[in-house]
Structure formats: C-alpha cells, structure tokens
C-alpha cells in the first residue's frame, strides 16, 4: 500500500513535468520511483525516503545538465521579441546621436541611440541594431 503512494507521486510529478518541460520534476519523479521500488523490496519508509532524495539529487545534478545540453544542441533557441531584433538592419529617420534619434526597424519606428563615444549617424543611413535597451535601439552604421 505504501508503494502505491510513491508510484502515485511519481505519476503526478511526471504529469506536472509535461507542463514545465524543465526536466526538474522528471528527475524528482525518478527519485519517487526509486523510493517506490525500495518499499516493494521491503525497505522501511525512512530508507525509501532517503533513497528517493539521493536518487533525485543525483538525477538533478548529474543527468539533467547532460540531457539539457544535448537537447539544446539539437534544438536551437529561437529568439523572440526584442532579442530577435539584435543584428537586424534598420534605416535612420532622423539624426541619431548619443542622446536621441529615430529608426525604422522591422516596420516600426523606434527611438535610437548610438553607443557612448560613437559618431552621430545622419538621416537615411542603413544601420545595424547592436542592442535593445528598453524601448530604445542602440545602433551602428551597417
């Protein structure tokens, strides 16, 4: 009967992992499975809990980083929102200085600046976005 609770806990952690996709809860589910099997083999509850924590810790700190590294190597991260605009081309709509300026970036008008110490960029010049800071694009000549 006690092992049923461990298996149920592992099942619930596995279901919760589907929603997070972080592999943390999956590693905890692995620990719960180890605890369930310890109970089935006749271990007392305290030993099963210890085994579950040790196995979950080993999975979290040994297996999970390796799995995440391999997963990210096969599935490249796709930048979205402002991070996706870094490196894109834009066109200046006004003179861009360290203090002010405007560019047409990805079909929208953005406030723009040049990095400290850079020369100002005249109107109508193609530029490249170096960084997005809030709602301001830092640009350099293309």
Q: Are residues 123 and 95 in the same domain?
A: yes
Statement: residue 25 has pLDDT above 90: yes
* CA atoms 108, 110, 115, 117: torsion sign: positive
pLDDT recorded at residue 3: 80
For 79-123, the pLDDT digits (tens) are 777 888 899 999 999 999 999 999 999 889 999 999 988 888 999
pLDDT recorded at residue 71: 86
Q: Are residues 64 and 89 in the same domain?
A: no
For 40-92, the pLDDT digits (tens) are 999 999 999 999 999 999 999 999 999 989 888 887 777 777 888 899 999 99
Q: Are residues 23 and 61 in the same domain?
A: yes
Beta-carbon contacts of 46 under 8 Å, excluding residues fewer than 6 positions away, are none
CATH number (domain holding residue 114): 2.40.50.140
Tokens matching residue 10: 């592992």
Q: Are residues 12 and 54 in the same domain?
A: yes
Structural domain total, the chain: 2
Q: Are residues 98 and 131 in the same domain?
A: yes
pLDDT recorded at residue 118: 87
Domain of residue 45 covers 2-74
Identify whether the C-beta of residue 49 lies closer than 8 Å to the C-beta of residue 35. Answer: yes
Q: Are residues 129 and 114 in the same domain?
A: yes
* CA atoms 46, 48, 54, 60: torsion sign: negative
Q: Are residues 70 and 85 in the same domain?
A: no
Q: Are residues 62 and 16 in the same domain?
A: yes
Q: How far apart are CA 39 and CA 29, in angstroms?
A: 15
pLDDT recorded at residue 142: 82
Q: Model-level pTM?
A: 0.56
Higher pLDDT, 3 or 54: 54
Q: Are residues 70 and 86 in the same domain?
A: no
Domain boundary at 74, 101, 121, which?
74
Q: Are residues 114 and 134 in the same domain?
A: yes
Give the residue among 113, 89, 93, 118 at the shortest CA–CA distance from 103. Answer: 93
Statement: residue 16 has pLDDT above 90: yes
Residue 21 CA, chain-centre distance (Å), reads 11
Q: Are residues 85 and 68 in the same domain?
A: no
Domain boundary at 20, 47, 74, which?
74
Q: Are residues 8 and 69 in the same domain?
A: yes
């Amino acid at each position: 009967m006690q092992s049923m609770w461990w298996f149920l806990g592992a099942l619930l952690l596995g279901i919760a992992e589907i929603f997070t996709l972080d592999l943390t809860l999956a590693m905890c589910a692995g620990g719960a499975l180890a605890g369930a099997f310890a109970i089935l083999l006749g271990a007392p509850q305290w030993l099963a809990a210890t085994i579950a924590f040790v196995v979950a810790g080993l999975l979290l700190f040994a297996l999970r980083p390796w799995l995440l590294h391999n997963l990210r190597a096969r599935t490249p991260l796709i930048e979205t929102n402002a991070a996706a605009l870094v490196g894109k081309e834009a066109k200046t709509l006004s003179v861009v200085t360290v203090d002010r300026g405007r560019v047409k970036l990805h079909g929208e008008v953005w406030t723009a600046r040049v990095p400290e110490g850079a020369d100002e960029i005249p109107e109508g010049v193609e530029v490249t976005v170096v960084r997005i800071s809030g709602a301001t694009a830092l640009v350099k000549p293309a």
